[in-house]
C-alpha cells in the first residue's frame, strides 16, 4: 500500500517573490482555483503582514477555496501571526506557517541572537499561532545549513509547543541530495516526539538540486513537499511541483503517491507562465515545449516505431499534446514519411526518396520545416511524379 505525500504549493508566496512577477489579487485567485482543481493539499497564499495587497489576496483566497488547506506565512513575530490569523479567518481549513532562522549564519549574523533565544522565540510564536489557528506549521529557516543536533532540539521544542508540520528548508539551495536525505533521517531518528508531526521538504534550486533534494527528503521520511509550478521562485527558484509528482509516479518502487491530477500539469504550467510573465525554458522537464519533441533521425525512427523507445512519460499523462516529430536537417526518411502521413499524403519509395532530397536542401538552410512548407514541397514531388 502506497503512502501519501502532501503537496504544499507555494507558487503564490515563495514563487511570487521573483522580481517582476507580482500578481494582482484576481490573478492569484485564478491560480488558487487552478491549484485546487489540480489537487494540491495546501496552497500557501501569501505573507499577509507584508502588504495590504498580500493580506487581501490571502483573505479572498481563504474565503473562496473550499477543499484545500489555505496557508499564510509569518515570521515568529506577534503582529505577523495576528495578521496571518486575521487573513485566514474565513478559511475552511487554515494553516499558519511561522518560523525563524536556525543556522548560525541566521542566528548570529541576521538575528543577532543566540540558539537558546531562537528556540524560545519559536516556541512563543508556535503557541501564539496555535491559539489563533487549528493548524500550525513551523519553518526552521536555513535548516540546510543548520547543525543537525541543534535542529533536532528545535524540532522537538516546536512539536511540544503545538506545531504539527515541521518544515526543513534548504533556504540557500546548499545541500547535496544525500546530505539533505541524511538530515531528514537524522530528525526522524533523533527527535523523540517526531511521531506527532510531519516533516516537510522546502528546497531551493541554487545548485540545480531542489528536486533531487526533495526526493531524497521523502525517501528519508518527509511526508510533505513544498514546491511551485514551473519551479518559479527567488534566485534559481524552488522545487518544481510537476517534477516531484512525476518522479513519484514514474518510480513506483518509492511507494509514495500524491493527489495531483497529472493531466492538468501542462495547462496550469501555461497559466502560471502567462500570468507571471515568466517564460518556461523550452527544455524544462515535464512542461517545457521540447519535453516531448524529437528532432534527430535516430530518435524519430525509434519513437515512430514505439513511443517508449525514447519517452518515459506518455504526453497525455501530463496533458501535453502528442509526441512531436520535428523536421530538421537531422531528420531521416521515417520522420518525413510520418509527417507526410499526418498531412494525409502517402508517398511511394521513389516519391519519398525524391521528397527527402528536396527536404534536405531546404532543411540545411533553416532550423525547422513548417507544415505549410512541407505540404508545398510534397505537392511538387507528387506533380513531378505524375507527369
Ligand atoms: O526558503 C525558506 O526558508 C522559506 C521559508 C520562509 C519557509 O521560504
Ligand atoms: Zn523558500
Per-residue pLDDT reduced to its tens digit, 286-309: 999 999 999 999 999 999 999 999
Report the atom number in ligand 1 closest to the C-alpha of 238.
1
**Which residue in 52, 50, 72 sits closest to 63, CA to CA?**
72
Nearest residue (CA) to ligand 1, atom 5 = 141
Contact residues for 376 (Cβ-Cβ < 8 A; gap 6+)? none
CA 336 – ligand 1 centroid, Å? 50
141, 206, 224, 239: which to mutate for ligand 1, most atoms within 8 A of CB? 141
Q: Where are the alpha helices (DSSP H) in the chain?
A: 25-38, 52-64, 78-87, 104, 115-132, 148-161, 177-190, 210-219, 241-250, 265-276, 297-305, 333-342, 349-363, 371-386
| pTM for this model (two decimals) | 0.96
pLDDT tens-digit profile of 248-263?
A: 999 999 999 999 999 9
Where residue 67 falls among pLDDT bands split at 50, 70, 90? very high
Task: Kindly give the distance from the C-alpha atom of residue 316 to the centroid of ligand 1, in angstroms, as a whole number.
Answer: 34
pLDDT tens digits for range 123-143 = 999 999 999 999 999 999 999
The answer to whether the CB of 43 falls within 8 A of the CB of 65 is: yes
Torsion angle, alpha carbons of 5, 9, 14, 18, to 10 = 120
Distance of CA 120 to the CA centre of its chain: 33
CA dihedral 166, 171, 175, 180 (to 10 degrees): 10
pLDDT for res 387: 81
Q: Which residues are 300's β-sheet partners?
A: none
**Sequence-separated (6 or more) residues with CB below 8 Å from residue 112:** none
- The ligand 1 atom at the shortest distance from the C-alpha of residue 226 is 7
Going by alpha carbons, the residue nearest to atom 8 of ligand 1 is 14
**What's the N-to-C CA distance of the chain in angstroms?**
67
In percent, the amount of the chain with pLDDT more than 70 equals 100
- C-alpha pair distances (Å), 203 with each of 10, 102, 251: 12, 16, 20
- Please name the helix (run of DSSP H) or strand (run of DSSP E) that holds residue 136, with its range, or none: strand 135-141
- Closest ligand 1 atom to Cα of 141: 3
- Per-position DSSP letters for 21-47, written without gaps between them: ----HHHHHHHHHHHHHHT-SEEEEE-
Pocket residue to mutate for ligand 1, from 202, 206, 210, most atoms within 8 A of Cβ = 202
Bridge-based pairing state of the strands 6-9 and 224-227: parallel
pLDDT at 1: 75
**276 CA from centroid of ligand 1 (Å):** 20
According to DSSP, the β-strands at 165-170 and 198-203 are: parallel
Q: What percent of the chain has pLDDT over 90?
A: 96
All domains of the chain, ordered by start, with CATH? 3-276 (3.20.20.70), 293-386 (no CATH)
Contacts of 260 (CB under 8 A, 6+ apart): 7, 38, 39, 40, 241, 245
Residues with CB under 6 A from ligand 1: 14, 139, 141, 167, 169, 171, 202, 204
- For residue 115, the Cα-to-chain-centroid distance in whole angstroms is 32
pLDDT of residue 85: 98
Q: Which of 294, 283, 279, 286 is nearest to 263 (CA)?
A: 286
Distance CA 356, CA 353 (A): 5
Helix (H) and strand (E) counts for the chain? 14, 12
What local confidence, expressed as pLDDT, does residue 297 receive? 94
Cell numbers at residue 386, please?
505524375
CA of 296 to the centre of ligand 1 (A): 42
Amino acid at each position: 500500500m502506497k503512502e501519501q505525500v502532501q503537496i504544499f504549493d507555494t507558487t503564490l508566496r515563495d514563487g511570487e517573490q521573483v522580481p517582476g512577477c507580482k500578481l494582482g489579487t484576481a490573478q492569484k485567485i485564478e491560480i488558487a482555483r487552478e491549484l485546487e482543481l489540480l489537487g494540491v493539499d495546501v496552497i500557501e497564499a501569501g505573507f499577509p503582514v507584508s502588504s495590504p495587497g498580500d493580506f487581501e489576496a490571502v483573505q479572498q483566497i481563504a474565503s473562496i477555496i473550499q477543499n484545500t488547506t489555505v496557508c499564510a506565512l509569518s515570521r515568529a513575530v506577534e503582529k505577523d501571526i495576528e495578521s496571518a490569523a486575521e487573513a485566514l479567518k474565513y478559511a475552511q481549513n487554515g494553516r499558519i506557517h511561522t518560523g525563524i532562522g536556525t543556522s548560525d549564519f541566521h542566528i548570529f549574523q541576521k538575528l543577532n541572537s543566540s540558539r537558546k533565544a531562537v528556540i524560545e522565540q519559536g516556541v512563543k510564536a508556535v503557541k501564539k499561532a496555535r491559539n489563533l489557528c487549528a493548524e500550525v506549521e513551523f519553518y526552521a529557516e536555513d535548516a540546510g545549513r543548520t547543525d543537525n543536533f541543534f535542529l533536532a532540539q528545535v524540532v522537538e521544542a516546536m512539536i511540544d509547543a503545538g506545531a504539527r508540520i515541521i518544515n526543513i528548508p534548504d533556504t540557500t539551495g546548499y545541500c547535496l541530495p544525500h546530505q539533505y536525505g541524511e538530515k531528514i533521517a537524522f530528525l526522524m531518528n533523533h527527535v523523540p516526539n517526531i511521531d506527532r508531526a510531519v516533516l516537510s521538504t522546502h528546497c531551493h534550486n541554487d545548485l540545480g538540486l531542489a528536486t533531487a533534494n526533495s526526493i531524497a527528503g521523502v525517501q528519508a521520511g518527509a511526508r510533505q513537499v513544498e514546491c511551485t509550478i514551473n519551479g518559479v521562485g527567488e534566485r534559481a527558484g524552488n522545487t518544481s511541483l510537476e517534477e516531484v509528482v512525476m518522479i513519484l509516479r514514474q518510480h513506483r518502487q518509492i511507494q509514495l503517491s500524491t493527489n495531483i491530477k497529472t493531466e492538468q500539469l501542462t495547462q496550469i504550467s501555461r497559466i502560471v507562465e502567462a500570468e507571471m510573465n515568466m517564460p518556461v525554458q523550452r527544455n524544462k522537464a515535464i512542461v517545457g515545449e521540447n519535453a516531448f519533441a524529437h528532432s534527430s533521425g535516430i530518435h524519430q525512427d525509434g519513437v515512430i516505431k514505439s513511443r517508449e523507445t525514447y519517452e518515459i512519460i506518455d504526453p497525455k499523462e501530463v496533458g501535453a499534446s502528442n509526441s512531436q516529430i520535428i523536421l530538421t536537417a537531422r531528420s531521416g526518411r521515417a520522420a518525413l514519411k510520418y509527417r507526410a502521413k499526418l498531412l494525409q499524403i502517402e508517398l511511394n519509395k521513389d516519391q519519398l526518396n525524391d521528397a527527402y532530397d528536396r527536404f534536405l536542401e531546404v532543411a540545411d538552410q533553416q532550423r525547422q520545416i513548417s507544415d505549410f512548407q512541407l505540404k508545398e514541397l510534397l505537392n511538387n514531388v507528387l506533380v513531378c511524379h505524375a507527369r
